[in-house]
Amino acid sequence: MSSDPFIIAGKTMASRLFVGSARYPSQQVMLDAMAASNPCMVTMSIRRISLEGYAESLVDLLGDRYPILPNTAGCVTARDAVLTAELAREALDTNWIKLELIGDRELLYPDVEQLVHAADELVRKGFVVLPYCNDDPVTCRKLADVGCSAVMPLGSLIGSGRGVANPGAIELICARSPVPVVLDAGIGTASDAALAMELGCDAVMVDTAIAKSHDPVRMAGAMKAAVEAGRLARLAGRIPKRNMAEPSSPQLGLVGT
């Protein structure tokens, strides 16, 4: 929607949907799903990218079609995350990075202390930092304060498909954040993506919900439509919730009155 641009770090995005590149049953299904979803960026783990640029690498497959957003998935220390980001910038010629810094291997929750430290260092090194973080308005504000260009709070546990577990917190983050908010992790189906947008998120990140669905291409199209519908609903404004019914037709003119 040209009248409703989505901008991060001065860059106008082609859509409000980020998609991942992992877990697809085949490369062709991945490519078809990308075409159906029209992502603004495609995330890739640096660990899955060949730095030698061999034929049929993910970069070769997708780099000419969609902007690539490398991520630091798997990093557990600020030092490793910063080093991984620097390798990505050198190999892919981009200063954009999705910063992931995990504090618990089982829950895949962020290590907030190290995350803020790494974000601060990367911003000072000239990166456009998009950090995956917990659904906490205070954490999101700290990340914005050190210069992150957007924040990516989790909806629920990565890969869980539980949707937006704490909608009140996400709505608070959206209302208070000085930078764009991208819901990241936990999306299970299209209605989850629509809800995130209705709560005020600027965009949604989806990977497993598309790649592991029974029909990834069809689900990719559903996610595209859900993000667009959720954004339109947010802009239109929902009616207030009421405790009692309110007739949609006026009482005046009824037979017998």
Q: Looking at residue 76, what is its pLDDT?
A: 92
Which distant-in-sequence residues (6+ apart) come within 8 Å of 168 by Cβ? none
pLDDT tens per residue across span 10-38:
999 999 999 998 889 998 999 999 999 99
**Residue that has been written with the tokens 């006026």 in this structure:** 250
The neighbouring-strand residues paired with 12 are 7
> Cα–Cα distance between 195 and 201 in angstroms, integer?
9
Tell me if 61 is assigned to some domain: yes
Mean pLDDT throughout 215-232?
A: 97
Question: DSSP string of 31-100?
Answer: HHHHHHH--SEEEEEGGGS-TT--TT-HHHHHTTTS-EEEE-TT--SHHHHHHHHHHHHHHH---EEEE-
Q: 0.85 cut: is pTM over it?
A: yes
pLDDT tens per residue across span 33-82:
999 999 999 999 886 555 554 445 777 777 678 999 999 998 999 999 99
212 catalytically annotated: no
Q: Give the number of domains in the chain.
A: 1
Residue 131: give its domain's CATH number. 3.20.20.70
Structural domain range at position 88: 7-236
> Cα–Cα distance between 139 and 125 in angstroms, integer?
21
Instruction: Given the residues 11, 98, 142, 224, select the one marked as catalytic.
Output: 98
Q: What is the dihedral of CA 51, 56, 62, 67, to 10 degrees?
A: 10
What percentage of residues in the chain have a pLDDT greater than 90?
A: 74
Nearest to 178 by CA among 150, 136, 146, 152: 150
Tell me if 105 is assigned to some domain: yes
Tell me if 211 is assigned to some domain: yes
